[in-house]
Structure 1
Amino acid sequence: MTTPTDHRMPELDFNTPALKRHRKLRALKDRVAGMGIAVGGSSVILAVLLICFYLLYEVAPLFSNASIDARASYSLPAEEQGDSLYLAMEEQSEIGMRVASNGSIVFFSVEEGTVIKTVPNPRDQAITSFTVESDTSRLLAFAYEDGAVLISKHDYRTSYPNGERHITPVVEYPYGEAAIKVADFPIQHLAIRDGDDGLTIAASGASDSAILKVTKDVNFITEEVELTEQRESLPFIEDVQSVLVSGNQRSLYVATRTGELSEFDLRDFDNITLKDTIPLLEEGTHLVSMRYLVGKSSVMVADSSGRVSQWFNVRDDDTNEETLHFIRDVKQPIALVDMAMEQRRKGFATLDERGLVAIYNATSTRQVIDERLSDETARLISFAPRADSLLLEDSKGMNVYHIDNEHPEVSWSSIWGKVWYESYPEETYTWQSSSASNDFEPKYSLMPLAFGTIKAAFYAMLMAVPLAICGAIYTAYFMAPALRRKIKPVIELMEALPTVILGFLAGLFFAPFLEENLAATFSILVVLPVGILLFAYLWSRLPTSLRWLVPEGWQPLLLIPVIVFLAWFCLAMSPIIEVAFFGGNVRGWITNDLGITFDQRNALVVGFAMGFAVIPTIFSITEDAIFSVPKALTQGSLALGATYWQTMTRVVLPTASPGIFSAVMIGMGRAVGETMIVLMATGNTPIMDFNIFEGMRTLAANLAVEVPESEVGSSHYRILFLAAFVLFIFTFVVNTIAETVRQHLRKKYGSL
């Protein structure tokens, strides 16, 4: 008997050598890919963190504390000449100088205190008053009992014998070795101010006051400087404590011990008048010192209560006259003894009765140092020209200190708050980092730059978002697939255009064109939407047989000639509109009638140019998000009786909302970080004005302009890094919010 054949399925062997090798290779590829993705992702995170830490590393010194350390201490050089009236140092802080009470000028080694040179009083008379024109000019003035004034200047000659630096101190007499007769009485208080055109000397005695003006004229034949003197009397003021001549030699300030300041107008020297009387001090205090801050604009007033107040001239809009105005003050809890000014920054130091030295910056109102350096016998302090050293004289002798104070002009209030800068009519947010003048007051407010960044992004997004999203909706949902395959790559190709080209065209072509055709521009914004809607309405009323001649989804091509015609029509009608409604000049009407300033390169130009650059980004991501909505959702909605528009607004858009929101945020990120367009098309002016016809300066554009020209390690350099850090934080916060909202929308509409 035969057994039927057993028909069994062949057994599959999954452990053949080939399959084993294949599985091992695939597992290896998986591990390598996983490691690559992990390393790549970690590297990106690490790179971002390193950028953040590097920015913080460069910014941190701005807010670090200053320090002061003892450098040398020795007995008073040439002590037999008497106590010091004035202290100074030369540029390298190697040679010090003191004016002794007998009128001698003593030069000494700062490190050792050894006397290098002593220049005796050139006159036999005792000096009755002494003053300094300014620390930077090095002009010294000695007054004598006969009313004469001798002007000298301490200077330093540098040579390099045998390759080593050698500094030789000298005393010069720029107005001759003979004293200038200023008054007929012993001078008790003295003030001088030297300039290119002349010299002014003011003197006050026990019962009389006088002023001398020396005019400098250049003889064009001999090229010699000829001096012409003119002497006038001044109204006498009792109990005078201090006298100052303004930097422009137009005003004379005479302050009494009780702090009453009399301002005299010197512009008409033949008829000097009392301009104003101002109380400087609080009741119950007396004046200790009154000196000019560097730049000769701000008067610093120190009193017996420990208060130092800053005053400078502010122009009155009603009278168009400048008056001395109180600006700000700082205070120590005890009476002050002396005050010293930095020679290159708006900084000053105070010395009180306890021997405590406090160093401030006037602009930032920042106290950087507050240390007791001596006992109660301290008398004088003085800065080195670079403000890196300090001389202090007390009963024990001379003390030298090294100062590490690199960034006193920077504080949170000066960066983000309003500051009243010299010669400004009020407190402002201002960015002005450099100037041709050595007396310049840096203005490091980041508010105008942050405002400009937000303003540029706002107007760019105002133009880009509606066009990009509406275009993406139509392209992804309503447009014919064949047409979509042609339109989408063309729009995405716009993103490849270099922004420098867009900025160049916007600044040199579009901005002048926009200025000349303002009426056409605004009429296009009104006529174009109305014209397109009107054309759509007329198209919908055409016979069906005619409308079917155009395939479904190809209707946008019909709008091209409509848009071209409407734009041409608006341009053609622009002159007629200007004459009929704006007196023939829209810009003049905006400026004169509306009182709105107009700058050719303004936010409107940026809105168009940067909007054009942002549109491809928002369009591409939005279109992909809408097109990726499952077809089953749209088909189910349509099958249930919803129209195309209802399906779009209630099904497609909610489902695609996370992608659309991401597109808007990415577009905003690009607008915030855009550099070349705003640099070339905005006028690059750091002002705070939401006016669409005014320009701005953004954080990114400011970095592009000023980083290459900033001094490495300077306050300006580190402030620019702070601006970069602010931009970094801004984009980080925006992206974090965007991701949070996107995840929320994804959870909310993910179940559709």
Structure 2
Amino acid sequence: MSNEATVSVPELDFNTPSARRKRKMRAFKDKAATLGISIGGISVIVAILLIFFYLLYEVMPLFRSAAVEPWQQNGQVVSPYPLPGQGKTLYLAMEEQAEIGLRLTDAAEVIFFDTRSGDIVRQQSLDLPEGVSISSFALISDARRLFALGLSNGNALVLRHDYKASYPDGVRVLSPELVYPLGTDPIPMGDGPLELLTVNGDGDNWRLIGGNASSLTRTDIELSENFLSGEVETSIETTRLAQPNVKATKLLLMPDRRWLLIAAQGGKLAVADLQAPNDASITQIINATNGDIEAFELLLGGNSLMLADSKGRVSQWFLVRDEQGSWQLTPIRNFDTDGGTLSSFTTEHRRKGFATLDSEGTLKLFNTTAQRTVLSEKLLDGPANQIAYAPRSNAMLLERNGNLSFWAIHNEHPDISWTALWDKVWYEGYEEPAYVWQSSAANNDFEPKYSLMPLAFGTLKAAFYAMLLATPLAICGAIYTAYFMAPGLRRKVKPVIELMEALPTVILGFLAGLWLAPFMELNLAAVFLILLVVPASILAFAFGWAQLPNRIRFLLPDGWDAALLIPVVMLGTWLSFALASPVENLLFGGDLRLWVSQTMGISYDQRNALVVGIAMGFAVIPTIFSITEDAIFAVPKSLSYGSLALGATPWQTLVRVVMPTASPGIFSAVMIGMGRAVGETMIVLMATGNTPIMDVNIFEGMRTLAANIAVEMPESEVGSTHFRILFLAAFVLFMFTFMVNTLAESIRQHLRQKYGSL
């Protein structure tokens, strides 16, 4: 009979008060962590959506349709009222706030009136000699409130309407007046009536051209102040111009006072060069239209001619140099008026726009830069006699059948269209259509250029050169560090590289702009030799190391080979600088930069894409390296050991097992690095020259979307077109990164599914 040992097993109680408390605490922590992570993730999504909708909120007004409605005063619609004064209207205008209007009549009366009610504020008769009447009218500039009158006795008078503000008892009062820039005495220009007249000038120099269809006279006036007496002395020189071989119907003198534009019968257009040796030589005669020329006006700045014919066609023209260097008046663009006969035409005072009113009473607003119809709306039952813009383009006066009507215009951003933003535009002064960003200038006649193409191109160019440098270095470095390097050396190298990411980009931009750019300019040959000599030195050293006896090679622990490359790289760099001067003298005439510019025809800017590629690549390398290294190091060792056990070499294992498994992480690293490069601001701001040009040349600079926002946002007027265009640039940048990241995530998920079974 055998004795069996009895083993007592202790009973475990999982339902003790302590165990229950631990389970409750664990469950509470799990729920709290789940809730916190969920709230954090949702908050990130909400924040991104808020950014998206805020950018959209600031951008949408750019594309809001224009509107026109009767002006409202104290909640009441301003009704049409009878014309103040008597006679036929020659000129209709308004002051800055559109509170006081000006009406000039053929009876030589100037009436200032309240635009809301028509009440006369001031009425003044021009002091003309007895028996003398107004024979012609010439608008010099709406923006400067200047106009001129041709008289039946051959004299001319230049006037400006001004408005002085005063505040008696704290109430703002406007006092209109007429000013005579060239004096109150009429300027003699000829013996017969001035049926045609055009005037232009500024400050002390003026030029008047007038006469009739067959004879024109030029009068040059120079004003000078006597330093002793303080009196203004006037010098007048009159010259009879060569007889034009066209029958002129209207004249326009451009602001440079060189070019005379002549509208002639039969739809002809002539250009006269007043600086030609034979004085006013007709350089060009154009059959501009099949009908008669009805409207013939200069756009803001005086560089563009707006021409409307009797068939309702409107076109824009300006002077362009041809291949021989001669100036030719060239048709630039046409505007669709639906073939209606135009009854009135006027241009905006401060923008490159104009308005037309046809015989059916349909008002159309256009913008020339954007080449679009901003508004088309029927306002009247028939044609209008006169139409006048307010200086701020927020109001308009229409004269019809002896009545004036006052209209409010809502048209804040007419110069924005898909063409103006993303297509080539033929701007004033350019020889051909181009992509241009130029948001401001020194004068008020400037044509804003809001093409986003140079900025988008510059963004991609900077990112391309940065990624071209950073991606291979970062990925190859990460592969070696994670797969081949000894653990002890890896623990030293990886933190040092990741520490580079903490370096502020403003410091990198500062160094790139003030040190690296001039250094590369002086040592351009050495920089390019480094790209050849250092890799060749590494390969030569590797080959030589492999030829050494094993007893020597095995003295170095496995995985520490990279440490030997440090002196090799330093020696290769020194050798590159040592060889730079002889190579430069032998192959490039002693100056590589000059050779590139003169022989190759490639322009060189000190702050260029090469500098940006090196500086921004240095900033992007740590991001790509860190994520790639973690992805490769995280590949299970069992996969590598299994591959090696089956006879694969370490290189085959890396290429066919490790890299495919880590490919989702590597791809994410590249996309995150690209996002960093696209959104980088300070480096490209300080190291690119900040010129918004489209040139793939690696030696030329660029301007990126992010840098442009940083530069111009502080100087933009809140709510202006420029301000909202900058928000549109931010929106474009946001959408670009969003689409790139979405595409990257979809590819990453595909790679994960494909190689997840390894």
Cα 1:269–1:111 shift into 2, 3 Å: farther
Q: 1:44 and 1:78 mapped to 2: Cα distance?
A: 64
Q: In the TM superposition, what is the alpha-carbon distance from 1:223 to its structure 2 partner?
A: 4.7
Give the 3-state SS of the residue equivalent to 1:504 in structure 2.
helix
1:114 partnered with 2:119: yes
Render the CA deviation track for 1:2-37: whole Å, top value 9, x for unaligned: x99986534322222222222122111111111111
Q: 1:186 and 1:681 mapped to 2: Cα distance?
A: 64
1:664 partnered with 2:670: yes
Question: Is 639-648 or 172-181 further displaced after alignment?
Answer: 172-181
Q: 1:376 and 1:213 mapped to 2: Cα distance?
A: 43
Q: 1:134 and 1:259 mapped to 2: Cα distance?
A: 25
Cα 1:224–1:523 shift into 2, 3 Å: farther
Q: 1:210 and 1:173 mapped to 2: Cα distance?
A: 22
Partner of 2:608: 602
Give the 3-state SS of the residue equivalent to 2:604 in structure 1.
coil
Quick one: which of 679, 690, 698 aligns to 1:673?
679
1:136 partnered with 2:143: yes
Q: In the TM superposition, what is the alpha-carbon distance from 1:404 to its structure 2 partner?
A: 0.9
Q: In the TM superposition, what is the alpha-carbon distance from 1:45 to its structure 2 partner?
A: 0.5
Name structure 1 gaps, 5 residues minimum. Answer: none
Partner of 1:552: 558
Partner of 1:517: 523
Q: 2:720 and 2:484 mapped to 1: Cα distance?
A: 58
Question: Is 428-437 or 206-215 further displaced after alignment?
Answer: 206-215
Question: Is 229-238 or 155-164 further displaced after alignment?
Answer: 229-238
Q: How does 1:134-533 map to 2 (within 5 A)?
A: 134-205=141-212, 207-234=214-241, 235-237=243-245, 239-267=247-275, 271-281=279-289, 283=290, 285-316=291-322, 318-332=323-337, 333-533=339-539
Does the 8 Å CA contact 2:344/2:384 hold for their aligned counterparts? no
Give the 3-state SS of the residue equivalent to 1:515 in structure 2.
helix
Give the 3-state SS of the residue equivalent to 1:73 in structure 2.
coil
Counterpart AA for 2:454 = P
Partner of 1:591: 597
Q: 2:383 and 2:478 mapped to 1: Cα distance?
A: 80
Q: 1:5 and 1:688 mapped to 2: Cα distance?
A: 93
Percent of aligned pairs with the same amino acid: 55
Counterpart AA for 1:738 = A
Q: In the TM superposition, what is the alpha-carbon distance from 1:89 to its structure 2 partner?
A: 0.4
Q: 2:180 and 2:488 mapped to 1: Cα distance?
A: 91
Does the 8 Å CA contact 1:468/1:616 hold for their aligned counterparts? yes
Q: 2:257 and 2:679 mapped to 1: Cα distance?
A: 48
Cα 1:523–1:232 shift into 2, 3 Å: same
1:700 partnered with 2:714: no
Cα 1:252–1:24 shift into 2, 3 Å: same
Q: In the TM superposition, what is the alpha-carbon distance from 1:61 to its structure 2 partner?
A: 0.3
TM-score scaled by length of structure 1:
0.97
Q: In the TM superposition, what is the alpha-carbon distance from 1:221 to its structure 2 partner?
A: 4.1
Does the 8 Å CA contact 1:449/1:697 hold for their aligned counterparts? yes
Give the 3-state SS of the residue equivalent to 2:365 in structure 1.
strand
Q: In the TM superposition, what is the alpha-carbon distance from 1:541 to its structure 2 partner?
A: 0.3
Give the 3-state SS of the residue equivalent to 1:671 in structure 2.
helix
Give the 3-state SS of the residue equivalent to 2:731 in structure 1.
helix
Give the 3-state SS of the residue equivalent to 1:271 in structure 2.
coil
Q: 2:156 and 2:495 mapped to 1: Cα distance?
A: 84
Partner of 1:98: 103
Does the 8 Å CA contact 2:87/2:105 hold for their aligned counterparts? yes
Q: In the TM superposition, what is the alpha-carbon distance from 1:222 to its structure 2 partner?
A: 4.0
Q: 2:34 and 2:613 mapped to 1: Cα distance?
A: 44
Q: In the TM superposition, what is the alpha-carbon distance from 1:220 to its structure 2 partner?
A: 4.4
Q: In the TM superposition, what is the alpha-carbon distance from 1:240 to its structure 2 partner?
A: 2.3
Partner of 1:15: 15
Question: Is 251-260 or 661-670 further displaced after alignment?
Answer: 251-260
Q: 1:221 and 1:420 mapped to 2: Cα distance?
A: 50
Counterpart AA for 1:120 = S
Counterpart AA for 1:711 = E
Does the 8 Å CA contact 2:196/2:213 hold for their aligned counterparts? no
Cα 1:236–1:734 shift into 2, 3 Å: closer
Render the CA deviation track for 1:500-534: whole Å, top value 9, x for unaligned: 00110011001100010111011110111111101
Cα 1:550–1:78 shift into 2, 3 Å: same
Q: 1:337 and 1:693 mapped to 2: Cα distance?
A: 55
Render the CA deviation track for 1:651-698: whole Å, top value 9, x for unaligned: 111111111111111110100111111010111111000100000011
Partner of 1:540: 546
Question: Is 89-98 or 65-74 further displaced after alignment?
Answer: 65-74
Give the 3-state SS of the residue equivalent to 2:689 in structure 1.
coil
Q: 2:672 and 2:143 mapped to 1: Cα distance?
A: 53
Render the CA deviation track for 1:205-263: whole Å, top value 9, x for unaligned: 25432222212344444454332222222314554221101110001111113221111
Cα 1:727–1:128 shift into 2, 3 Å: same
Give the 3-state SS of the residue equivalent to 2:266 in structure 1.
coil
Q: 1:199 and 1:4 mapped to 2: Cα distance?
A: 130
Question: Is 194-203 or 153-162 further displaced after alignment?
Answer: 194-203
Counterpart AA for 1:266 = L
Cα 1:583–1:236 shift into 2, 3 Å: closer
1:40 partnered with 2:74: no
Q: CA RMSD in A?
A: 1.6
Q: In the comparison of the two structures, how many residue pairs are matched?
A: 746
Does the 8 Å CA contact 1:77/1:114 hold for their aligned counterparts? no
Q: In the TM superposition, what is the alpha-carbon distance from 1:197 to its structure 2 partner?
A: 4.2
Name structure 2 gaps, 5 residues minimum. Answer: 72-77
Give the 3-state SS of the residue equivalent to 2:79 in structure 1.
strand
Does the 8 Å CA contact 2:213/2:249 hold for their aligned counterparts? no
Q: 1:42 and 1:377 mapped to 2: Cα distance?
A: 60
1:580 partnered with 2:586: yes
Q: How does 1:719-738 map to 2 (within 5 A)?
A: 719-738=725-744
Q: 2:480 and 2:383 mapped to 1: Cα distance?
A: 85
Q: 1:222 and 1:569 mapped to 2: Cα distance?
A: 76
Does the 8 Å CA contact 2:96/2:391 hold for their aligned counterparts? yes
Cα 1:206–1:382 shift into 2, 3 Å: same
Q: In the TM superposition, what is the alpha-carbon distance from 1:714 to its structure 2 partner?
A: 0.6
Render the CA deviation track for 1:467-520: whole Å, top value 9, x for unaligned: 011111111111111101100110011111000001100110011000101110
Counterpart AA for 2:582 = I
Partner of 1:718: 724
Question: Is 228-237 or 265-274 further displaced after alignment?
Answer: 265-274
Cα 1:184–1:29 shift into 2, 3 Å: same
Partner of 2:74: none
Cα 1:372–1:740 shift into 2, 3 Å: same
Partner of 1:747: 753
TM-score scaled by length of structure 2:
0.96
Quick one: which of 557, 565, 575 aligns to 2:571?
565
Cα 1:331–1:4 shift into 2, 3 Å: closer
Q: In the TM superposition, what is the alpha-carbon distance from 1:53 to its structure 2 partner?
A: 0.5
Q: 1:117 and 1:204 mapped to 2: Cα distance?
A: 32
Q: 1:264 and 1:730 mapped to 2: Cα distance?
A: 51
Q: 1:313 and 1:236 mapped to 2: Cα distance?
A: 20
Q: 2:709 and 2:343 mapped to 1: Cα distance?
A: 44
Does the 8 Å CA contact 2:299/2:352 hold for their aligned counterparts? yes
